[in-house]
């Protein structure tokens, strides 16, 4: 897009800016605002020109966008600038615009919903998890058995060398003192804990392991390890009694009230999962019904966001940087495909919101910000500042609008209730 502003407007802007400088200029021998115009021009000529340029180019760009009724995405690339006093302002602006497309039919879309219900068994499993949070560990004078914890000292080698010779960062896999190992098949290194069954405190054992192909430390994948282990203690897990006193630890008046509260939580969670599955299917159905070109810069930015989140989540889980680096091409490829679908879905939902007249109020945005700030335990004022730095308030606005559109689509969808195995996964 080529933009031009005539000489008259350029000179008027120079005149206005010169007067502004003249009013505030403090030159030797003159009171502020009293310096002669020619001296102000001589002293501040470059500054005046820069300020005029900074004002005129954005103003001219916005005016051109409005006149041509362009739906611009992101920021323009401004180049080929011709600018000087007494001349017309000219420049080229390269912009990306939102794609143009016809909305497909978006009401009465077909979706499937699972008929899963919360069972008594589900409630008891959840209660067991609550009990396990309050597990006590009691030292016992007997051989270790499945479900116990073995407190052990160990040193590890692979091919006769300390493991750190093969994987320098794996110090914790080479030597540990008083290390707690759950006697479960998948605990620590697969196959390690099972070889401690039957060992008593003070007993020493040699443990042989095969590091799996997908082991978190890539240098050890498919390698064999040998560990010299000394069992220091055997601890038995002791769960608290299932009674009203236990329930009160979780804020319930009685065990019966705790079970009722757990059931309500599970039912709410199940409802949320069903709704999420339905909404995912609605988006997938929309995506299949229309095709259009996506703005490259938007896809690139969304891909970067997804890659960042994937890497961050893997680091939080303790995945080694080396393994992440090995998988970077696969991560980027997967992120790119996801990004394209997200960007396409966002354009579709935005257009439906426009057609249906769906609006988002300032109060709704403020409430969402307050909720997110509480979730992340960040003071609301600081959270708002962080959002403003990365244009995040617009993202929150878009999220709320998308939620409203999906609620509309769900309310009109043709929902078929099906058995769990027949439902489309979320």
Residue 40 inside a domain? The answer is yes
Residues 279 and 388 in one domain: yes
25-34, 203-212, 330-339: least confidently modelled range: 25-34
Q: Which CATH number goes with the domain that contains 154?
A: 3.10.50.40
pLDDT tens figures, 120-159: 999 999 999 999 999 999 999 999 999 999 999 999 999 9
Residues 74 and 188 in one domain: no
> Is this prediction's pTM over 0.85?
no
Residues 272 and 417 in one domain: yes
Q: Which pLDDT belongs to residue 426?
A: 47
Q: Which pLDDT belongs to residue 317?
A: 75
Give the confidence band of 225 by pLDDT, cuts at 50, 70, 90. very high
Q: Which pLDDT belongs to residue 401?
A: 96
Token couple for 164 = 């750190």
Residue 405 inside a domain? The answer is yes
Residue 376 has pLDDT above 90, yes or no: no
Residue 303 inside a domain? The answer is yes
Q: Which CATH number goes with the domain that contains 339?
A: 1.10.3120.10
pLDDT tens figures, 83-110: 999 999 999 999 999 999 999 999 999 9
Residues 169 and 212 in one domain: yes
- Burial degree of 212 (CB within 10 A; 0-12, 13-18, 19+): middle
DSSP 84-117: -TTS-EEEEEEEEEPPP-PPPP-SS-EEEEE---
- Taking the C-alpha atoms of 70, 71, 76 and 82 in order, what is their torsion angle to the nearest 10 degrees? 10
Radius of gyration for the alpha carbons in the chain, expressed in angstroms and rounded: 33
Q: Where are the alpha helices (DSSP H) in 25-156?
A: 37-67, 120-133
Residue 285 lies in domain: 268-422
Q: How far apart are CA 378 and CA 383, in angstroms?
A: 6
Query: DSSP class of residue 243?
Result: S
Token couple for 293 = 């070109």
pLDDT tens figures, 239-285: 999 999 999 999 999 999 999 999 999 999 999 999 999 999 999 99
Helices and strands per DSSP (H, E), number in the chain: 13, 11
Residue 128 inside a domain? The answer is no
pLDDT tens figures, 349-371: 999 999 999 999 999 999 999 99
Closest CA to 215 of 270, 158, 261: 158
Residue 311 has pLDDT above 70, yes or no: yes
Point out the domain boundary residue: 97, 126, 151: 97
Point out the domain boundary residue: 68, 97, 126: 97
Residue 246 inside a domain? The answer is no
Give the confidence band of 422 by pLDDT, cuts at 50, 70, 90. low
Residues 408 and 279 in one domain: yes
Q: How far apart are CA 356 and CA 409, in angstroms?
A: 11
Residues 289 and 377 in one domain: yes
Residues 374 and 276 in one domain: yes
Q: How far apart are CA 211 and CA 222, in angstroms?
A: 5
Residue 252 inside a domain? The answer is no
Q: Contact, 364 vs 302, CB < 8 A?
A: no
Token couple for 317 = 């889980």
Residues sharing a CB contact under 8 Å with residue 256, sequence separation 6 or more, in sequence order: none
Residues 170 and 281 in one domain: no
Point out the domain boundary residue: 97, 121, 151: 97
Residues 385 and 272 in one domain: yes
Query: DSSP class of residue 357?
Result: T
Residue 311 inside a domain? The answer is yes
Number of domain units in the chain: 3
Residues 184 and 276 in one domain: no
Residues 37 and 150 in one domain: no
Residue 114 inside a domain? The answer is no
Residues 208 and 339 in one domain: no
Q: Which CATH number goes with the domain that contains 32?
A: 3.30.70.1050
């Amino acid at each position: 897009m080529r933009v031009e502003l005539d000489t008259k407007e350029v000179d008027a802007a120079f005149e206005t800016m010169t007067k502004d400088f003249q009013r505030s200029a403090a030159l030797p021998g003159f009171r502020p605002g009293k310096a002669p115009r020619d001296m102000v021009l001589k002293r501040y000529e470059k500054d005046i020109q820069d300020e005029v340029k900074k004002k005129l180019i954005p103003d001219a760009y916005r005016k051109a966008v409005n006149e041509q009724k362009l739906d611009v995405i992101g920021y323009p690339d401004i180049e080929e600038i011709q600018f000087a006093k007494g001349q017309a302002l000219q420049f080229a602006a390269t912009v990306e615009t939102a794609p143009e497309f016809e909305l497909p039919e978006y009401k009465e879309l077909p979706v499937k919903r699972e008929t899963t219900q919360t069972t008594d068994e589900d409630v008891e499993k959840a209660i067991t998890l609550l009990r396990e949070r309050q597990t006590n560990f009691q030292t016992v004078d007997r051989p270790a058995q499945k479900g116990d914890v073995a407190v052990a000292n160990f040193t590890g080698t692979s091919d006769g060398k300390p493991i750190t010779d093969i994987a320098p960062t794996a110090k914790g896999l080479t030597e540990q003192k008083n290390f707690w190992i759950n006697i479960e098949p998948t605990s620590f290194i697969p196959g390690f804990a099972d070889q401690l069954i039957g060992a008593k405190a003070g007993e020493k054992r040699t443990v042989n392991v095969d590091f799996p192909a997908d082991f978190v430390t890539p240098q050890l994948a498919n390698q064999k390890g040998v560990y010299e282990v000394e069992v220091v203690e055997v601890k038995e897990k002791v769960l608290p009694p299932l009674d009203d006193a236990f329930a009160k630890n979780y804020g319930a008046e009685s065990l019966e009230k705790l079970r009722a509260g757990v059931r309500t939580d599970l039912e709410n969670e199940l409802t949320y999962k069903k709704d999420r599955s339905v909404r995912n299917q609605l988006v997938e159905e929309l995506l299949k019904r229309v095709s259009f070109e996506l703005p490259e810069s938007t896809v690139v930015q969304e891909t970067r966001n997804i890659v960042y989140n994937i890497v961050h989540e893997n680091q939080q889980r303790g995945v080694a940087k080396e393994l992440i680096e090995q998988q970077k091409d696969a991560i980027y490829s997967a992120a790119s495909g996801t990004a394209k679908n997200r960007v396409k879905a966002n354009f579709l939902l935005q257009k439906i919101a426009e057609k249906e007249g769906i609006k988002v109020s300032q109060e709704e945005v403020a409430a969402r910000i307050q909720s997110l700030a509480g979730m992340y335990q960040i003071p609301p004022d600081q959270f708002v500042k962080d959002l403003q730095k990365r244009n995040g308030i617009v993202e929150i606005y878009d999220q709320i609008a998308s939620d409203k559109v999906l609620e509309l689509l769900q309310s009109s969808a043709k929902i078929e209730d099906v058995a769990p195995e027949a439902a489309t996964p979320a």
